Structure 1
Amino acid sequence: MTALTTATVLTAALALTAPAAVAAAPGAAAAATWDTGRAAAAYAADPTAVTASGSENADTAPARAFHGNGTPRRFSDFADNTWIRVDLGSTIRVHRVVLDGEAVRGKRYVLEASRNGTDWTPFHTETAGTGGSVTVHTYPQEVTTRHVRMRGVERAPPWGHSLYSFQVYGGEPAPEGLPGTTRLLPAAHMVVSDAR
C-alpha cells in the first residue's frame, strides 16, 4: 500500500468510528463563551435569582455579592449554618467558582450544586478558610447545574460569612445523550474524542 492509500484508509476508518457530534477546536469566541460569568449575568437579568438565609442588615444583602464590581461586601447574619445561592437561569457546566472575601469570610464552608434548587450535592469543602480570594476549579469532577450555593458551616467569630463577590464561570453543557465532545485538530489531521 502506498502512503496515500494508507492515509485514505485510516481517515475513512476514523470517520466511521467517530461519534456523530464533531466540533472545531475552540477558538477565542468559544473560550469566551465557556468562560462566561454566569452568576452576575443571572442577577442582572433577574435580581430575585439571588437568595440567602439572612443578612446582617439591608446594606449587606445577598445581591451585594453578585453585582459585579467587588464592593461593598455581602455579610451574613452572625450565625453558623448560613447560606447564599444563585439560580443561574438555565443548566450550565460550571468549571470554576471564585469567592472574593475578607479574613472573616468563614472558617468552614461548602460549595453545593443543585439542578432543581432543592436537592444539593457538595462539590467543594473548605475546612480551614483564611479569607481573601479563592478560586475553586471543578476539573476533573464535572459540575452541571442550575443552582450554586455557598453554605457557611462555621464562621470566624464574632462575625458572619463575608463576601465581596461570588462568581460562577462556565458554559452550556453538552446535549443530553452524547457520549462526549469530539474535536478536530487541524494541525495534526486527527480526530480526538474525550468521550467518557
Structure 2
Amino acid sequence: MYLFRSTAWSAAVVALLFSSVTVTPARAADVLLSQGKPVTTSSTESSSFAGTKAVDGSGTTRWASAEGAGQQWLRVDLGRIATVHRIKVDWEAAYATKYRLEISDDGVAYSTVVAVDNGDGRTDDLAGFTARGRYLRFVGLTRATQYGYSFWELQAYGSITGDSQTGWPGGAAVTVADGTNVFGENLSGLSFEGPDVLWAVKNGPGTLYRLVRDGTLWRPDAIGGRAVNYRDGSGDPDAEGVVRTPDGLLVATERDGDDDGTSLAKILRFDPASTAKSLNATAEWDLTDDLPAVDANSGPEAISWIPDSFLTAQGFRDERTNAPYTPSSYANHGTGLYFVGLEDNGMVYAYALNQSGGTFTRVAAFAGGFPTIMDLEFEPETGLLWSVCDDTCQGRSATLSITNGKFTVSHTYDRPAQLPDYNNEGFAIAPQSTCTAGRKQVVWADDGNDGGHALRAGTLPCTAPAQPG
C-alpha cells in the first residue's frame, strides 16, 4: 500500500486492519462520493464550524471540533454501500499528528482504512487501498495544537456499488472531425460560437484557432493558428481552456512557456474579431495567489461562463457573503461568472472578473466530481455544467446542477462506446439550433493527436439526459 501527499512525501505509517479492507492498485475512474452527504460529529467549536462544512466542496469553509478536547470524530454517511479508493484531508492550522480513517457498513462496527501517526498539517492525499462501506469516519487521536481538530475538506473518492455510472447518454458512434495532422499534439480547450464556428486552443506554443465547418470536419479558417501573448506582448501563455462569451474570448492558462517551471495561473481575454496572426491579450487576471499552490503544469485547465440570469434564477449562493448571489455587488463584471477548473485537485472556482482587467472576486468553489479536471462546458438548454476528465478517469464526464445554492454532481457518464481512451482535454457542446432528429454534436480535443487526429465528434440528446433515481 502507498501513501501519497499532494505537497510532500509523508512519514505517516499506513496500517490495514480487518478483513473488509484489501490492498489493490488504485482505481483511475473514481468519483467524489462525500460531497454534500450527511455528517455527524462528536463536537463542534461553534455553528460556524459545523461538520457539514467539511464536505460542502468549498476550500474556504471548515469543520472544527471543540477546543482543547481529546479524541474527536467526524462521520460521513455516503448514502449507500460504496467502494473507496482514495481519501483527501485538507487540514487547517489545527491539525492532528495522529489519526485514523475508518469505514463501516452499519455505523456501529468499524474497520481501519488508514492510520497516520506522524501528521504534519499538510494536505493528506491517501490512496492505494480498497475499502467498502457506507459510513466513513475520521477519528482524531492526538492534536498538534491546544485547539481542536479542523480541516477544510474531507473528500472520499470511489464508486457506489452497482451504480457508479451509466453509459454515454448520446449515441455510441464517434467520428474523426479534423483532417490528418492538422493540429499535432497539445490541442486542449474547445468552445462553440454559434453553429458553424468552433474555437480551440493549444499550448507549446500557445495558439488560438477559429475553426469552421467543412462538410463533416472542422478546419482552421483562412488566418490559421494565431499566436497568443500576454497583454504587454510578451511571453508564451500555456493555453489550456477557452470560452466564447458576450465579454469576448477568454483563455485559461497555467504557466508562461518561456518560464515553464513556474506556475502562472492567468485568465486572458482576446478580441475574437481580430485578423492578426499574433494576438495580445486585451485584459488579464492573475489568479495564482488566489488558487492553491500547484505544480506549474497542474493549474487552470478549464474555463466556462454562466450568465447571471441563470445563476440568480436557480438560487446560486455567494460563499463570500453566505447569501444568494447578487450580480449588482460586483461592478463591471459583465453579465455572468467565470468557472475555472484546476487540474491539480479537480475543484472548480467561480469568479466575478472586473472587465477592465486585473481585479476579480472569488464567489464560490466546489468539487467537479473527479480527482482532476480537463474541461468545463455549460449547457444552457439543460442547465447542466459538464465536468470532463481525461484518460486519468477513463474519459468519463460528470454533470453538475444547482442544489440548495451549490453546484453538486448529479450524475457521471462513461465515454461513448466508440471513443478510445485518449487524453481528451477539450470538450464542447454545439448550440441547440443544430439539433437534428433530437441530437446535437459534441466535440472532443485529443491532446495526443492519436492516429494523426486531434478532434472527434459524437452526439448528445437535445433535452436533458435522464437522471437515474
Match of 1:161 in 2: 149
1:66 correspondence with 2:61: no
**Alpha-carbon distance in 1 for matches of 2:154, 2:40:** 12
Match of 2:118 in 1: 128
Match of 1:115 in 2: 105
Match of 2:246 in 1: none
**Alpha-carbon distance in 1 for matches of 2:99, 2:44:** 17
Aligned residues: 137
Match of 2:74 in 1: 84
TM-score, structure 2 normalization: 0.28
Q: Secondary structure of the equivalent of 2:109?
A: coil
The aligned amino acid for 1:69 is: S
**Alpha-carbon distance in 2 for matches of 1:129, 1:174:** 35
1:54 correspondence with 2:43: yes
Deviations 1:29-63 (A, max 9, x none): x96xx42111104x2xxxxx211000011101101
Match of 1:37 in 2: 32
Compute the displacement of 1:142 (Å). Answer: 2.2
- Tell me if the contact between 2:95 and 2:145 (Cα under 8 Å) persists in the aligned partners: no
**Structure 2: gaps spanning 5 or more residues:** 1-26, 164-469
TM-score, structure 1 normalization: 0.65
**Alpha-carbon distance in 2 for matches of 1:38, 1:134:** 17
1:75 correspondence with 2:75: no
Deviations 1:111-142 (A, max 9, x none): 000010010111111111111211111x3x42
**Whose Rg is larger?**
2
**Alpha-carbon distance in 1 for matches of 2:78, 2:161:** 13
- Tell me if the contact between 1:115 and 1:145 (Cα under 8 Å) persists in the aligned partners: yes
**Structure 1: gaps spanning 5 or more residues:** 1-29, 44-48, 176-196
**Alpha-carbon distance in 2 for matches of 1:160, 1:107:** 12
The percentage of aligned residue pairs carrying the same residue is 32
**Alpha-carbon distance in 1 for matches of 2:96, 2:143:** 4
Compute the displacement of 1:69 (Å). Answer: 1.3
Deviations 1:91-128 (A, max 9, x none): 11101000001242111110000010010111111111
Compute the displacement of 1:156 (Å). Answer: 1.5
Tell me which of 132, 136, 140 is aligned to 1:148: 136
Deviations 1:55-98 (A, max 9, x none): 01110110110100111221111212100010100111101000
Match of 2:238 in 1: none
* Segments ≥4 residues shifted beyond 4 Å: none
- Tell me if the contact between 1:101 and 1:163 (Cα under 8 Å) persists in the aligned partners: yes
Q: Secondary structure of the equivalent of 1:131?
A: coil
CA RMSD of aligned residues (A): 2.1
Which structure shows the higher strand fraction? 2
Task: Return the structure number with greater relative CO, CA threshold 8 A, min gap 6.
Answer: 1
Compute the displacement of 1:157 (Å). Answer: 2.5
